[in-house]
Amino acid sequence: MKIYLDNAATTQPLIDKTLVSHIKTAWYNPSAAYAPAEAVFLEMKKTRQALCDVTGFDGGCIFTSGGTEANNMAILSAYKKGAHYITSAIEHPCVYETFRYLETMGAQVDYVRPNGFCIEAEDVAALVRSDTALVSIMHVNNETGAQNDIHAICGAVKAKNQNAAFHSDGVQALFKTGIDLSKSGVDYYTVSAHKIHALKGTGALLYSNNKAPIRLHFGGDQEYALRPGTENTLGIQAFYEALERGRDGFSAALEIVNGLHKKLLEGLSAIDGAEVNLPDIKVPHIVSVSFPGVRAEVLVRALGEKGIYIGTGAACSRGKLSRVLTACGVGKSSAKGAVRISLSALNTAHELAVCLEEIGYEVKKLRRFGRR
């Protein structure tokens, strides 16, 4: 039996309809000038509109290779030599490390710390200056599930400096919480297909009409000449299928995950020494739990050998002490023992019961060995 509980890393693709359609009729190059290619171009246009519709975003949409590229593009598009920037200490590495790079280019960057696990609007606003070019605060944290109030944060930023652009990494938020950016003031918002049961290698950057991103690549005129190269039509069409499914099944899926989340917390509370890193405001899909005295990667490997798959934090930072958890005030011992269990509506209560039983067994065993 295989039990997959690492859905924040990636999700099982559910795109059978798209695979058949793409292979048979929708594989043409959308830049070509004949009817079948034009049909593929229109499919891409349909996906752009669907992304704007499900997020309530009024602006443009450019397809990228994923959330990392979209986040990089948004941040670098706001770069001005010597300008001031604000981000948080709990951002995904693709955001955090981009700002670290900007610092080497002479930018001034403030890294706001969370209050508990969440970023507070007043803490961000206190750092805004007249020369602040961009503020980037994630919507949902990929390690803890903490949900930031980006509407309040963006509003506080714009009230202090209306010229400052606002970006939010929404990769872990899409179909995990309700999103309505229609009156938010958000200028850039990023999403990724493989987090919602579509394919890896596909993401998108939503951008305000007056904040068009800069090009990072050069070549042809695809994607409004902002991202040249033949488009990933399979990934884009699969994105649309996932968007349809996610939109139509949002309420039912959220109800399932809320039920699983409750059972998971109840089960973890029965494991000796378990410390749940629980934000006050969160999505139910991600649970971070620490087992002090047990190294996270050792526990993950032990469970993996039994066919139970959970994560240790950001999938791209395997083996490293969590910068996010330490910024949230989690002690070093607890951070070393933190694992991430992330749910989807495909999971079952039985899977959770098996996982919790095995976690309890392995934690007890590993602590016993650790004391020898």
| E-assigned strand segments in 257-332 | 275-277, 286-290, 308-309
* CA-to-CA separations, 57 to 51, 60, 188, 274, in angstroms, rounded: 8, 8, 10, 40
Active site residue 94: no
* CA-to-CA separations, 72 to 97, 136, 142, in angstroms, rounded: 9, 11, 17
Q: Render 183-250 in DSSP notation, one character per residue.
A: TT--SEEEEEGGGTTS-TT-EEEEE-TTSPPPPSS-SS-TGGGTS-S---HHHHHHHHHHHHHHHHTH
Question: Looking at the chain, how many residues does it have?
Answer: 372
Helix spans in 56-192 (H) = 67-77, 93-104, 121-125, 150-160
* CA-to-CA separations, 372 to 291, 296, 368, in angstroms, rounded: 18, 19, 7
Active-site option among 154, 316, 328, 355: 316
If you compute the radius of gyration of the chain from its CA atoms, what whole number of angstroms results? 21
Catalytic residues: 316
